[in-house]
Amino acid sequence: MNMDEFELEREASAPIDMLETYFSALGWAYECCRHVFPNTNSAEWDVSATDGPSTGGYCQIDLVHRTAALDFGDVRPGLRPESFGPFIRVTNSYNGLRALAFDIGFYRKVCQNGLIAPDTIVQFKFAHQQRHLEMGIRFEVARDRLSRLQTKMSDQFAALKKCTVPRKAFEPMVRAALMIRPLKSTRPETHEAHEWASLEAHVQGLCNRYACELGETGYAVLNVITDFASRPPRNRHLHRDRHGLQRLAGTWLTKFTHECAQPGFAIDTHVGNMKTPSPRADVLVTA
């Protein structure tokens, strides 16, 4: 989707503050892409996703590069190559509830599963605090860190494919990675019980799917985590949005690949020592 198509999709009746929030974020996102990847131009970037509440208090816009020029991945002789591409997400708010932010993420191109890199690549400053002016933002990009991060992630993906994880360990690992906390107790046949059963069934379905497609490996677990994070279901027991979940996915990738590379690593011991999120005594509806 290009900028013109994005504009046409916005309803003319939308509140002016909401429109300004979206269009300011969109302009800043294209500007950030130009600074992070100076060999590209704005016409090569497409809007791939937008998030935000109906109130328009904030918005998040993802831009992806439409060609394979920025792709990287795990390419091994005799095996199907895996391609990954970067995306840039800008978060903008007109009511001050969320700070302006620029994040770099990576997604698996065959399925669009993505995560947010834990490393800070983009820093920025406002010139004279003129936040409403695009030219008031000065970007500082750690391109050497970005290059190292892409190489590191390729190595991490390859390591996960070699790491055997039994199917029975998938669910507890996914719940721990995404900090999905179970209830202490739930009365049968209540709405809360049905919602929790629906969430468990969703996770189980993803685990079955990727265990079948990718085998019983850490790489399959990663794809369960990133699939859930990229397309979180509407559920009252889920208290993080897509951005927060994708951040957790990026953190899990770094932590788990470090652990599984240690001498004597055993998945059974890892699962046994895993810090499972504490049960909740209450139930809150996600905003």
Backbone angles phi and psi of 89, in degrees to 5: -115, 130
Degrees, nearest 5: CA angle 67-153-148: 85
- Residues whose CB falls within 8 Å of the CB of residue 172, separated by 6 or more in sequence, listed in order: 271, 274, 276
Q: What pLDDT shows up at residue 243?
A: 93
Instruction: Provide the mean pLDDT of the chain.
Output: 82
Q: Look at residue 285 in the predicted model and tell me its pLDDT.
A: 33
- Give the start-to-end residue ranges of the domains of the chain: 3-147, 163-273
Q: Helix crossing, 242-260 with 143-162: angle to 10°?
A: 70
Confidence (pLDDT) at 273: 87
Nearest in space to 32 (alpha carbons), one of 101, 113, 98? 101
pLDDT band at 247 (very low <50, low <70, confident <90, very high): very high
Where is pLDDT greater, at 123 or 279? 123
Q: Is 35 helix (H, G, I), strand (E, B) or coil?
A: helix
pLDDT confidence of residue 205: 98
What does the pLDDT look like over 170-211, one tens digit per residue? 999 999 999 998 777 667 778 888 999 999 999 999 999 999
User: Across residues 32-39, what is the average pLDDT?
Assistant: 92
88 against 51, higher pLDDT: 88
pLDDT at 79: 63
Cα(33)–Cα(155) distance, integer angstroms = 25
**pLDDT value, residue 277:** 59
pLDDT at 163 over 70: yes
Average pLDDT over residues 153-172: 94
Average the pLDDT over each of 88-97, 220-229, 250-259 and give the range with the smallest value.
88-97
Would you state the pLDDT for residue 12? 39
What pTM does this model have?
A: 0.84
